[in-house]
Structure 1
Amino acid sequence: MNEINELLKYGESEKAEFKKSTAQLEKGLKAVCGFLNHSGGSVYFGIHEGKVVGQEVSDSTLRSISQKIRQNIKPEVSPEITVLGTGKEKVIQVRVKEGLNKLYYLNGIAYKRVGAENIVIPPEELERIILNKRKKNWDFEICEDANLGDIDWEKAEWFKERYEFIIKRKIHTSSEDLLKSLNCLRSAGDKNKPTNAGVLLFGNDPQKFFPNTRVTIAVYLSKKVGTKHKDIRDFQGCLLDIIDETNEFINKNINTYSYLKEGQLAREDISQYPPFVLRELLVNAVAHRDYTTSGARVIIKIFEDRIEYQSPGPLPAGITPENILKETSHRNPVLMKVLNKIRYVEEVGEGWDRIMDEIESHPLHPAFPKIEDTGASVIVTIFSPKDFESFDLDLNDRQRRAIEYARKRGNITKREYMKLNEVSARTAHIDIKELFIRDIFKKIGVGRATKYTMK
């Protein structure tokens, strides 16, 4: 009771608000929101007009207070609820610290504590606070309800070892200090707390805090949405595991054709899509997405002729599908920095350049990617080479060169075939006839004007 007597002596203040009972919980929530947006404080239920009147206490009462706060105040917070006093003079104390992720809203309205009042934050002040917050990044912010126990320290140690291998020297610091230097942990009072990036990258259970941080992959049997799925999977866990497991699944669901090259005993493999492109677009989708968008997740659709990567949130300000090769901006710079340390992403600004180079150097030269910003998400589509299926056939090198020639020039004649491959007219005739029979070439014209195009 000493604590309550001390409170009664000073009355309500910028740190304390009194309510007669939890029947006034709705009004009490305004104070909780105000404390979060100011410097913290407590609401006491069971005090009226400077006297202790007592508050009935049960498990359901305490649970109801916690649920109401979590349901009505956003971003979500967990209050500290304590029962003071005994008998009929029990008082419920609901305490919150100053919020780490301001602004906080009660049913869409932001309050702040001024003296012993809870006032609505005026529009011009709201705008100033929001503008200042935009200068910071979501992944740098402290994850409100997480603590060091939510970090997978084995994963942190794995990261440290991989980083040491890459830089070829020993890191003489603890895993905790290393994560702090990478902004995966930050000081909060006298403790280190995980940031949002720290939870995503090294958390035991990131979905506990961010339910929609999973990746869904749907594999279709044709070129259209709506057809029967060959497979559909959800991947969750920490971001490092999601990247590795999802990349493995994608590679298992694309085609690799082997063919026998003349003069060689071993067969050569051609992948439907460049492996680097598959991984880089996957990492981009999870590292650049907008994690503040609720109810959205990364979705990857694998079709017979293309793969679509859909990532929540628009392109960052100043970046468009047209200038993405020239301009660089990161929505989540902490994530990108950590992933770059262990070579999960390219150096800053180099990822898209290499994507285009890898596609251009693919043996069958597929079309370049399509980038679409819908405003709600970014969709990147990569395309399978149109001639890919022909590489599943046992064609000779001459025929493959002719296919490439016809694809680039639009057509090929018998004379051009002979010159290209340095073969006789009879060999050229046999090779071209086989391509025609297999429905790879289409014949146009007659006699000396005959040309062959890709079908």
Structure 2
Amino acid sequence: MKKQTKLSIQWFYNLLERGECDIMDFKEQLEDKMSFGKSLKNFAPKYDETARDVVAFANHKGGFLFIGIVDDSKEINKDFVYQDSKVFELIHQVQDRTEPTITLIPHKINVEGKDLLVLEIPFSTQLHRTSRGEFLIRSNDGNRPIEPYEMATIMAEKGLIVYDQKTWHISGEWLDQKRLSKLHDMIEAKNADSPYLDKSQDDLLDSLGMTKDEGGEVLPTTTGLLFVGNQNALRELPYYEVKYIHYFEDGTYKPYEYKGNIIEVATACFNQLKAEIRQKEYIFGLFREYVEDYSEIVIRELLVNALAHRDLSRQQIIEIRKYDDGGYLEIESPGTFPEGVTSENFLRKTNPRNPNVMDILREIGLAEKAGSGFDKIFTDLLKKGKSLIKPEETETSVIFRVKADVVTEKLIELSLQYENQTGKAIKLDELLVLSEIVKHKQVKFADLSSAPNISTYRLQSILDKLQKLEFVETSGKTSGLSYILHISKRKNTSDKIDYVTNKKQDKARQKEAILRYLDSVDTINNAEARELLKLAEKDRSKVSRLFAELVKEQEILKTEDSKPNNVIYRRISKG
């Protein structure tokens, strides 16, 4: 068994607060099939019940069974007794009652002086059933049977099937020659030297994953139906649809529906959203910038992301909602994040759910290379002074929400200054760092390195570059070192007051360091002060000014043995 730490106790209480849900359940006792030394014939149902729980968790996303907790009150069962023999018997019985076999991971945890049992059901890439043939899945309301139409979705989420490579038996002709010709033209327009252009029709369909040979029969795949399938074939995918509703400020709304061919859906929906874009003008000295409520870049990338990465096995449509009154647009795509991708790492982590679909979208120029789509979204939002998107993951979908309002004009101005100064567009990593500094005004390196999406590996080189370009500068020394916006990039009175305040605080700390040094050591000269304050030779005059101010404040005075090239100071006694 695994050794638990104090952290496990906090983890235990955190989960306990959530109550019974889709990842945990509670049981009061480790049941015993022996009573007064005799075997209970009716004890098997107890193991069957546990096996049902385990199968349901394994078919979902894994979970935990807490043994020794009263289900209703969530209090510790004082009568619970942890016994290794019972634990291993339970694990063995569950193995016998699950197919494929599920092996539980037991954890012993001591809470309030009582040893409790936590059985961990790991996430499984297999589809499990009980020995009685029951396919179950866990939800917030407990266990329930898996419906037939859900099988493909669950298998796709577990990676047992890649749904865009699923084959279809279509009655009659499935291929739309006009759509195939259009796809061919788009590939050529993107890359006139593409190797796909020299292939025969059959080879093109096969190499792009739009058809597959199964038992000597060439069948269309989901990818094939989406890109070049005719209307008859597209009936097999009734939920491949985008529903867009525009809610106006006066309370009225207008709905739009787009369904069928993926290229036609993307084009029609994007053109509608693009037609509704509104701009606002911002002026920064000689610079002029027009900022859209929702830019073409953000709309296109989010729309293509939803069309390409949606869970094709789910009987759900893509929904887009724009609220003029609330000032935001949201796109809800069927399916949760793919394995390994979360709402925290989605900018840097990729795991395409529909790889064939993505390959073709890249080949025709509708999608970016892996991982660069959200880079473009984040860069555009920050350059326009917008807040970054924070995805919301529900049980069946992911929602990306974009706000229309500008939250900081300063980032717009800095982006324009960067491009004017360097002749190049500012990069995302630099924008993320500048955004944190503008937001917090003064930020330490440690805080920057722990900020979301900032690369710790590249952080120092980014800061060095921004310092060299005079976009940021340092404030304070050693442990108090922090980064602030450079004085040359501060235009308004409020910014300059912040700058002066930070610099005054630095000087006060330096003076205090010199005085504390003199409390322990009798004298100090310029060289010693520079070493104390971690300053370079070029800061000699700066240290001399500090000494002059301390003399004026009657804190220190020159010693009698001072020389013109080596002035020595001592503390004035206050006694």
The residue identity in structure 2 corresponding to 1:146 is: I
Equivalent residue number for residue 206 of structure 2: 180
Instruction: State whether structure 2 residue 249 is matched by structure 1 residue 216.
Output: no
Q: Which runs of 5+ in 1 are unaligned?
A: 1-101, 111-125, 390-403, 421-455
Matches within 5 A, 1:109-120: none
Decide which of 251, 255, 261 is 1:232's aligned counterpart: 255
Equivalent residue number for residue 317 of structure 1: 339
Which of 380-389 and 161-170 deviates more? Answer: 380-389
Give 1:355 deviation, angstroms.
1.4
> Residues 156 and 163 of structure 2 are in contact (CA less than 8 Å); yes or no, is this contact kept in structure 1?
no
Equivalent residue number for residue 154 of structure 1: 178
Give 1:306 deviation, angstroms.
0.8
> Residues 157 and 338 of structure 2 are in contact (CA less than 8 Å); yes or no, is this contact kept in structure 1?
no
Q: Residues 417, 293 of structure 1: CA spacing in aligned structure 2 closer, same or farther, 3 A cutoff?
A: closer
Equivalent residue number for residue 249 of structure 1: 272
Secondary structure of 1:370's aligned partner = coil
Equivalent residue number for residue 370 of structure 1: 390
The residue identity in structure 2 corresponding to 1:239 is: I
Matches of 2:246 and 2:225 in 1, distance apart? Answer: 29
Equivalent residue number for residue 110 of structure 2: none
Matches of 1:140 and 1:151 in 2, distance apart? Answer: 16
Instruction: State whether structure 2 residue 187 is matched by structure 1 residue 163.
Output: yes
Matches within 5 A, 1:197-212: 197-205=223-231, 207-212=234-239
Deviations 1:249-276 (A, max 9, x none): 1112231245789879xx9643222211
Give 1:228 deviation, angstroms.
3.2
Instruction: State whether structure 2 residue 320 is matched by structure 1 residue 327.
Output: no
Matches of 1:270 and 1:241 in 2, distance apart? Answer: 28
Give 1:230 deviation, angstroms.
2.9
Decide which of 357, 361, 367 is 1:345's aligned counterpart: 367
Give 1:166 deviation, angstroms.
2.1
Matches within 5 A, 1:57-96: none
Matches of 1:377 and 1:348 in 2, distance apart? Answer: 21
Decide which of 323, 326, 338 is 1:303's aligned counterpart: 323
Instruction: State whether structure 2 residue 302 is matched by structure 1 residue 275.
Output: no
Matches of 1:232 and 1:139 in 2, distance apart? Answer: 28
> Residues 160 and 175 of structure 1 are in contact (CA less than 8 Å); yes or no, is this contact kept in structure 2?
no
The residue identity in structure 2 corresponding to 1:188 is: E
Q: Which runs of 5+ in 2 are unaligned?
A: 1-126, 136-150, 410-434, 442-489, 496-575
Q: Residues 191, 133 of structure 1: CA spacing in aligned structure 2 closer, same or farther, 3 A cutoff?
A: farther
Matches of 2:157 and 2:398 in 1, distance apart? Answer: 26
Give 1:187 deviation, angstroms.
1.6
Task: Kindly tell me the number of residue pairs found equivalent between the two proteins.
Answer: 269
Secondary structure of 1:349's aligned partner = coil
Secondary structure of 2:260's aligned partner = coil
Secondary structure of 1:156's aligned partner = helix
Deviations 1:191-214 (A, max 9, x none): 422101110122222541111111
Secondary structure of 1:231's aligned partner = strand
Instruction: State whether structure 2 residue 219 is matched by structure 1 residue 196.
Output: no
Deviations 1:255-305 (A, max 9, x none): 1245789879xx9643222211111110111111112112x1000001121
The residue identity in structure 2 corresponding to 1:338 is: I
Deviations 1:36-94 (A, max 9, x none): xxxxxxxxxxxxxxxxxxxxxxxxxxxxxxxxxxxxxxxxxxxxxxxxxxxxxxxxxxx
Q: Residues 416, 250 of structure 1: CA spacing in aligned structure 2 closer, same or farther, 3 A cutoff?
A: closer
Matches of 2:192 and 2:491 in 1, distance apart? Answer: 53
Give 1:418 deviation, angstroms.
7.9
The residue identity in structure 2 corresponding to 1:381 is: R
Matches of 1:282 and 1:189 in 2, distance apart? Answer: 37
Give 1:139 deviation, angstroms.
0.7
Secondary structure of 2:198's aligned partner = coil
Give 1:189 deviation, angstroms.
4.0
Matches of 2:319 and 2:156 in 1, distance apart? Answer: 31
Q: Residues 318, 247 of structure 1: CA spacing in aligned structure 2 closer, same or farther, 3 A cutoff?
A: same
Matches of 2:372 and 2:397 in 1, distance apart? Answer: 22
The residue identity in structure 2 corresponding to 1:246 is: C
Matches of 2:408 and 2:253 in 1, distance apart? Answer: 20
Matches of 2:396 and 2:162 in 1, distance apart? Answer: 19
The residue identity in structure 1 corresponding to 2:226 is: L
Matches of 2:208 and 2:283 in 1, distance apart? Answer: 49
> Residues 277 and 355 of structure 1 are in contact (CA less than 8 Å); yes or no, is this contact kept in structure 2?
yes
Give 1:237 deviation, angstroms.
2.3
Q: Residues 335, 229 of structure 1: CA spacing in aligned structure 2 closer, same or farther, 3 A cutoff?
A: farther
Answer 1 or 2: higher relative contact order, Cα 8 Å, separation at least 6: 1
Q: Residues 384, 251 of structure 1: CA spacing in aligned structure 2 closer, same or farther, 3 A cutoff?
A: same
> Residues 247 and 254 of structure 2 are in contact (CA less than 8 Å); yes or no, is this contact kept in structure 1?
yes
Matches of 2:364 and 2:266 in 1, distance apart? Answer: 13
TM-score (norm 1): 0.52
The residue identity in structure 2 corresponding to 1:249 is: Q
Secondary structure of 2:360's aligned partner = helix
Give 1:190 deviation, angstroms.
4.0
Matches of 1:353 and 1:388 in 2, distance apart? Answer: 20
> Residues 148 and 194 of structure 1 are in contact (CA less than 8 Å); yes or no, is this contact kept in structure 2?
no
Secondary structure of 1:379's aligned partner = strand
Matches of 1:347 and 1:132 in 2, distance apart? Answer: 23
> Residues 219 and 253 of structure 1 are in contact (CA less than 8 Å); yes or no, is this contact kept in structure 2?
no
The residue identity in structure 2 corresponding to 1:138 is: Y
Matches of 2:310 and 2:213 in 1, distance apart? Answer: 26
Matches within 5 A, 1:371-386: 371-386=391-406
Deviations 1:209-248 (A, max 9, x none): 11111100000113xxxx8343111111201100010011
Matches of 2:333 and 2:358 in 1, distance apart? Answer: 16
- Aligned residues: CA RMSD: 3.7
The residue identity in structure 2 corresponding to 1:379 is: I
Give 1:148 deviation, angstroms.
7.6
The residue identity in structure 1 corresponding to 2:404 is: S
TM-score (norm 2): 0.42
Give 1:142 deviation, angstroms.
0.5
Give 1:109 deviation, angstroms.
8.6
